[in-house]
Amino acid sequence: MSDKEAGVQLKVEGNKAFANHDWPTAIDFYTKAIEKYNQDPSFFCNRAQANIKLEAYGYAIADATEAIKLDKNYIKAYYRRAIANTAILNSKEALRDFKSVVQKEPHNQDAKLKLSECQKIVRRIEFLHAIEVADAPSPFEGLDIDAVAVDSGYDGYKLGDSMTQEFIDDMIERFKNGKKIHKKYVYQILSAVNKIVYDEPTMVEMKVPQDHKLTVCGDTHGQYFDLLEIFRLNGSPSDSHYYLFNGDFVDRGSWSTEIALLLYAYKWLRPDKFFLNRGNHETDDMNRVYGFEGECKAKYNDKVFKLFSETFSALPLATLIGSKYLTLHGGLFSDDKVTLDDIRKLNRHTQKQPGHAGLMMEMLWTDPQPMPGRGPSKRGVGLQFGPDVTKRFCEANGLEAVIRSHEVRMEGYEVEHDGRCITVFSAPKYCDSTENQGAYINIGPEYKLDFHRFDAVPHPPIKPMAYAQSSLMSMM
């Protein structure tokens, strides 16, 4: 058997894994195919699509580019590179590739539609930049919540001046049944939580008292019914059962407002026993593309999105658990000199959005890699850090490990870097297309990590990305 034939057989195995939504195994087979024979553009193009499914958009761009080098007329590779660039908001680069597709296939109506949608995205980004105002007033200024009347026909539990468990219980059921809460109550929740989280430090420091436990959850991404499954299996938040949600509450899943409002309600009810870290999807640019802005407008109004945006920018960026575990959404830093004190001193209120560089961006975006040192990001944003980087950081700061989220793990969690880097992801069957489990971590007063995995549960027939601004995003 020739190397090319062996490569084709490996590609076939990769296609089988892809069909079963096992993206990591598919990538392994495509990589072996490329190692056998690196002149077939389809090997690279197929791996690009699997990388898109794993949100490794930087790798997908590199693979699609390699496929195009091998075959300059490979339409599918241009498509996939465009989709990957769209995902990381490189819309102008995506636009060039969609134009190439239309030039090469002028009668391709689907390509023309994708080109038109990409042009709209570019125009909208340019418009938003043009009207951007430095030091714009807070959307909470002038918000007269008392003047908002709750109509007599509202059939939900009434909210007074403080959050109650009764209101939360009623809200959970309303959301399960496809109902909303009144916008007055939305405003109340957002206003109260904004004050609470704004006053918290950039790195919250907490301990687990005797006879208590803390549950750490990763990304939930608008998968409301899977969030309720965590509470069913593991117990609801209470005075003795703390919870920490490590970012990416919203986007992609189509119940993002429900998750955000429920988590915020718990934060208001127990501000010192319920913890929220910001994720890279608690940011304006991601919310505009991945569905949260559209969902807020569809279910409530544009004001609600702007208020959420303000609260997201006020969220802490990290939580230090018992001086042992630094918990943050993305990962570690481009500079070994960064310490916990640098996080403590970071004034997150002077920079509401993370930008393309700096501590905030790295805390929200970076990922671990198995190789030592640091490398370019597989996402095309941020960087990757190796086990030696994690070891030095933990030793310099007296930590046992870093707990982070930000990436799908097929088993729901993964322990890497000799036990010093732990990823937890809490959105099982992510986007209804990845056959992964979800996970959460229980931590008691002894600070031992107790991992739990769980499976997705059924949900109403609303697809992920239902509120995304463009059908381009549904291809990811």
**Which residue numbers are catalytic?**
281
- H/E stretch holding 81 reads helix 75-87
- Helices marked H in 340-447 — which ranges? 340-345, 359-365, 387-397
Question: ∠ CA 8-13-18 to the nearest 5 degrees?
Answer: 120
Residue 135, both tokens: 């030091």
Question: Mutual orientation of helices 256-269 and 165-176 as an angle, nearest 10°?
Answer: 170
Question: ∠ CA 244-286-393 to the nearest 5 degrees?
Answer: 50
Distance CA 417, CA 414 (A): 10
Distance CA 77, CA 65 (A): 7
Q: Tell me which amino acid residue 56 is.
A: A
Residue 330 contacts by C-beta under 8 Å, 6 or more apart in sequence?
280, 362, 363, 364, 365, 366, 367, 382, 404, 406
Distance CA 171, CA 258 (A): 9
User: Burial of 347 by CB count in 10 Å (0-12 exposed, 13-18 middle, 19+ buried)?
Assistant: exposed
CA–chain centroid gap for 254, Å, is: 13
Give 3-state DSSP helix, strand, coil % of the chain, rounded to 5. Answer: 50, 10, 40
Report the DSSP pairing between strands 383-385 and 274-277.
Answer: unpaired
- Helices marked H in 378-470 — which ranges? 387-397
Which residues on adjacent β-strands are paired with residue 427? Answer: none
